[in-house]
Structure 1
Amino acid sequence: MPGPALPPSSTTAPGARSATAAGGPGRAAVRPGLVLATACLCQLIVTLDASIVNIALPAMGHSLGFADSALPWVVNAYALAFGGLLLLGGRVADLAGHRRALLAGLAVFGVASVLGGLAQTPAQLIGARAGQGVASALLAPISLTLIMVTYTEGAARARALGIWSMVTAAGSALGVLLGGVLTDLLDWRWVFFVNIPLVALAALAAVRSVAAARPKREGRLDLVGAVLGTGAMSTLVYGLMETDRHPWTSARTFATLGAAVLVGIAFLAWEARFAAAPIVRLGVLRSRTAWVASLIVTLIGAAMLAGFYFCSLHLQNVLHYGPLAAGAAFLPFCAGVMAGSMAAGRLGARFGGRATLTGGLLLAGLGMLWFGGLGVDSGYLTAFVGPSVVTSTGVGICMVANTAMGTSGVAPHEAGLVSGLLNAGRQCGGSIGLAVLASLATAATRDATGAGRGALEALAAGYDRAFVITAVLLAVAALIAVLFVPAPPRKPAVRA
């Protein structure tokens, strides 16, 4: 016979929800630390995979005989599936149950990783990357949802979000580092095989920590909304990715982005007026914290992705770093993200969410502006480490503060929806920002070349323009935070 049940205070960490609040009976409610580890593992898998293949692209192209025009689709196939399906992934998690959706996403990701590592043709590799993107669109919203339904609002959730945000921001930098190590020391196929032990560990942790109960609120999937929402997101991401081959002013770009806008309008109209069980309940955006957080995370996503991209290009194309050295150069960035993420909770408790978010955005913008001074003679220690630490510390602070604000006051049955919105904002912001900034950097490089500057100086001038504009985007995000983030409630005066 089972022994007497332990009181909640002896099994549940402070700030963790009860079994009912966490979604039903199961071990998730009494092992919040393991739930957090599961969420962070899933997020690490997603963010690591988004960047780990970048440095391995030349080796993949040489090994499998990629045409120059086809090689970018190793990245694009992942981004297209991931960005297009994020909102759908968040809703599926709400309807199917967190453990069921999580294990399904991990299974698809593991199979796709094996197929990618064994690929013998370009089509097989691109298909495997698309499969990883589909799985990531399911895993990314669930990882944040698990924290929202396990930890109540307050210091415990802030600490959990700090760790999750640290993994989110540091995973991309670690992906660059690990991609260089694996490609240089082993083979490009290991950038896929390295996922297998991570997936197995995450699946084991999920089985032991995430409640198996189905959600209490029954519902059905809004198929029309799913098709329209996925179509709008996919068309937008595709149109942005193609701007490297078709100018912004071309008829093709206008047609693609125009189609994305029209499908997006149809999606909003369907969700607002016709859907019986909308995939996105638009009423959630009436909450100021939800739409402000989504807007700010879009700008943060643009800054983060563009920052990684142009820093990597400067190191390799201007300073002539090899893949391994370029990856290792991002270690200070990882350290800064960790420091900022862990400090965000304490800063928020002392100064309030609005001041913490604004300060983190301004600090990250200052670091990007500092990057804008990089030149052909800039040394790593004197000109790269400083802005890396400043930028990454600010990113860590504002990521935690913004996520905490955006997830506050969310009902458990809509946690997946809000998680999907925040992840979609970051993904779309990265795609839009990178496409726009790449075009502007190319134009600056062309202008510098026309003015008689050398090839390396012209490249550095293009990258510098991108860094400065990224700093402006972060400053705009800080202004939005000042104007629209709710001020903390005033403490009542204590009478003598």
Structure 2
Amino acid sequence: MSQQTLDRAPVPARGHRSGLVLAIILTCQLMLILDATVVNVALPRIQSDLGFSATGLSWVMTAYSLVFGGLLLLGGRAGDLFGRRRMFVVGTAVFTLASLAGGLADSAALLIAARALQGVGAAMAGPSTLALITTTFTEAKARVRALALFSAMSSGGFAIGLIVGGLLTEWISWRAGLFINVPFGLAIVLLAPRFVPEPERRRAHLDLPGAVTGTLGVGALVFAFTHAASDGWGNAVTLGSLAAGLVLLAVFVVVEARTALPLVPLRLFADRNRSAAYVNFFLGPMAMMSMFFFLTQFMQDIRHFAALATGFAFLPMAVLIFTMSRLVPRLLPRYGPKPLAVGGALLMVTGVGWLTLLTTESTYFPALFGPLLLMGLGAGLAFAPLNVIVMATVPNEDAGAAGGVLQTMQQVGSTLGLAVLVTVFGSVTRSAGTTGAQLTVDGMTAAFATAAAFAACTVLVALTFRRATASPRP
């Protein structure tokens, strides 16, 4: 695709075109998010087909989410500097090619490499999705509606990935979960240059020191928690990785404070509501990942659900998240972010806390159905306002960086949260005296208890929101 095609800015979206622009952007966002979980229910078959070890299998998920989260900040700033639509299109193209390569992979190493390359493409396209919504939809009500739908895709995409993965794995093959991205990715690459407006960009450097220290710092922390799950916290490699991650992140903050055009402009955190929204977009996914990772294993390994049934078990949660996304644009201007965020967070705490009562004999109704309903309702209320809070008043020149930080919080939160919860699960199963299914469930309920603590922290953060009405300015 020529540079002229990528640079050509179409007439700003109006009327029916605004719906098409939003559909293109949301389709890309959904595709990027659901790929974090679309292979989750297929992991047993992937392990059997490609000969993964028990410990190596988790990298099918981690390789994608870690690279995605680690490079999002760089992708956000690159979109601000080189053109958000260009990064959106190029990133989607890379993601699509990587999806094709992953579906064709005939070894464990090739699949992990393809998943990592998917993460690179997602990090290039992801921040631009949110920035393009902010700069395309300038009327207040239209922007709130678009951001609420974006939030539904971001929160519900994890659950939709499980449903789609279950369907494709049961009916076709686990490879279809990767191949399905190809036609949607091609459509986005062809339609976006024609219909999605290209905002004005500015040229400058990419803050490579910040990119290196930030990415390596997050990666070291995730590796430390993952390593602790198998080798314990007394292991030298675990402690060394943890210390390196903390030092690198401290250096990252210093670099960002002294750089003229940083990956993360610290002024983004000057607003109290925006800072609290960022923190909750980090803590919330830490709690929610326990639902997706451990519940899929509980259903398949303990209750012997098929892959298809496992995927559809999450349907109530996905439906509620999307339902709430339609209501939040009406509720947010009236009540402001605080009541919605606090109420949603409390529902999430209740839902995850309910899962700590699971036993080997627990059935879907009500032991799983009830928590899934509460989590769907809670996530829809708690997360939909956060996108609006973050993007409502951010300057256009920082829109890509702001979107990159928000999605980084989500991806790094889910990745780091999963690493922490796997560590808790591993410590319980190593030290407990029971065996078999009961031992597995004991580890899962301990992980759910930890996730409930993360969710409780989101309540405390939500209490700091100002009560002012969240109505975004164009």
What is the TM-score when the length of structure 1 is the normalising length?
Answer: 0.88
Which shows bigger deviation, 62-71 or 376-385?
Answer: 62-71
Equivalent-residue separation in structure 2 for 1:70 and 1:359 (angstroms): 39
Tell me the equivalent position of 1:409.
Answer: 393
How far the C-alpha of 1:445 sits from its partner, in A, is 4.4
Tell me the equivalent position of 2:357.
Answer: 373
Tell me the equivalent position of 1:26.
Answer: 10
How far the C-alpha of 1:419 sits from its partner, in A, is 0.8
How far the C-alpha of 1:373 sits from its partner, in A, is 2.1
* Residue 168 of structure 2 is aligned to residue 188 of structure 1: no
5+ residue gaps in structure 2?
1-6
Label 1:380 to 1:473 Cα distance change in 2 as closer, same or farther (>3 A).
Answer: same
Tell me the equivalent position of 1:231.
Answer: 216
Label 1:191 to 1:265 Cα distance change in 2 as closer, same or farther (>3 A).
Answer: same
Equivalent-residue separation in structure 2 for 1:202 and 1:249 (angstroms): 48
1:384 aligned counterpart, secondary structure: helix
- Among 453, 457, 461, the residue aligned to 1:480: 461
How far the C-alpha of 1:28 sits from its partner, in A, is 4.0
How far the C-alpha of 1:236 sits from its partner, in A, is 2.6
Tell me the equivalent position of 2:112.
Answer: 126
Equivalent-residue separation in structure 1 for 2:184 and 2:33 (angstroms): 13
Label 1:297 to 1:212 Cα distance change in 2 as closer, same or farther (>3 A).
Answer: closer
Label 1:83 to 1:237 Cα distance change in 2 as closer, same or farther (>3 A).
Answer: farther
Tell me the equivalent position of 1:94.
Answer: 80
* Residue 339 of structure 2 is aligned to residue 355 of structure 1: yes
2:459 maps to a residue whose letter is A
The 8 Å contact of residues 29 and 150 in structure 1, kept in 2 or not, is answered as yes
How far the C-alpha of 1:417 sits from its partner, in A, is 0.7
Which shows bigger deviation, 102-111 or 48-57?
Answer: 48-57
1:403 maps to a residue whose letter is N
2:250 aligned counterpart, secondary structure: helix
Tell me the equivalent position of 1:137.
Answer: 123
2:411 maps to a residue whose letter is Q
- Among 428, 433, 437, the residue aligned to 1:456: 437
1:368 maps to a residue whose letter is V
* Residue 24 of structure 2 is aligned to residue 44 of structure 1: no
Q: How does 1:210-221 map to 2 (within 5 A)?
A: 210-212=196-198, 214-215=200-201, 217-221=202-206
Could you list the per-position Cα deviations for residues 177-227 of structure 1 after superposition, in whole angstroms to 9, with x for gaps in the alignment?
222222222122212111101102222331232224651x33222222222
Equivalent-residue separation in structure 2 for 1:415 and 1:212 (angstroms): 13
Which shows bigger deviation, 122-131 or 23-32?
Answer: 23-32
- Among 21, 24, 29, the residue aligned to 1:35: 21
Equivalent-residue separation in structure 1 for 2:70 and 2:469 (angstroms): 38
1:370 maps to a residue whose letter is W
RMSD across aligned positions (CA): 2.2
- Among 448, 451, 454, the residue aligned to 1:470: 451
2:231 aligned counterpart, secondary structure: coil
Segments of 4+ moved more than 6 angstroms? none
Equivalent-residue separation in structure 2 for 1:461 and 1:434 (angstroms): 17
* Residue 99 of structure 2 is aligned to residue 108 of structure 1: no
How far the C-alpha of 1:173 sits from its partner, in A, is 1.2
How far the C-alpha of 1:95 sits from its partner, in A, is 0.8
* Residue 323 of structure 2 is aligned to residue 343 of structure 1: no
The 8 Å contact of residues 173 and 334 in structure 1, kept in 2 or not, is answered as yes
How far the C-alpha of 1:394 sits from its partner, in A, is 0.8
Could you list the per-position Cα deviations for residues 217-266 of structure 1 after superposition, in whole angstroms to 9, with x for gaps in the alignment?
33222222222222223323333333333323321111112111212222
Tell me the equivalent position of 1:334.
Answer: 318
1:79 maps to a residue whose letter is S
Task: Return the index of the structure with the highest Cα Rg.
Answer: 1
Structure with the larger RCO, 1 or 2 (CA within 8 Å, 6+ apart) = 2
Tell me the equivalent position of 2:379.
Answer: 395
Tell me the equivalent position of 1:293.
Answer: 277
The 8 Å contact of residues 84 and 237 in structure 1, kept in 2 or not, is answered as no
Label 1:213 to 1:423 Cα distance change in 2 as closer, same or farther (>3 A).
Answer: closer
Could you list the per-position Cα deviations for residues 47-106 of structure 1 after superposition, in whole angstroms to 9, with x for gaps in the alignment?
111111122223223223334443332222212311210110111111111111011101
1:149 maps to a residue whose letter is T
1:464 maps to a residue whose letter is T
Equivalent-residue separation in structure 2 for 1:153 and 1:314 (angstroms): 46
Tell me the equivalent position of 1:258.
Answer: 243
The 8 Å contact of residues 64 and 122 in structure 1, kept in 2 or not, is answered as yes
The 8 Å contact of residues 345 and 456 in structure 2, kept in 1 or not, is answered as yes
What is the TM-score when the length of structure 2 is the normalising length?
Answer: 0.91
Tell me the equivalent position of 1:440.
Answer: 424
- Among 229, 232, 238, the residue aligned to 1:247: 232
Which shows bigger deviation, 341-350 or 301-310?
Answer: 341-350
Tell me the equivalent position of 1:177.
Answer: 163
The 8 Å contact of residues 83 and 237 in structure 1, kept in 2 or not, is answered as no
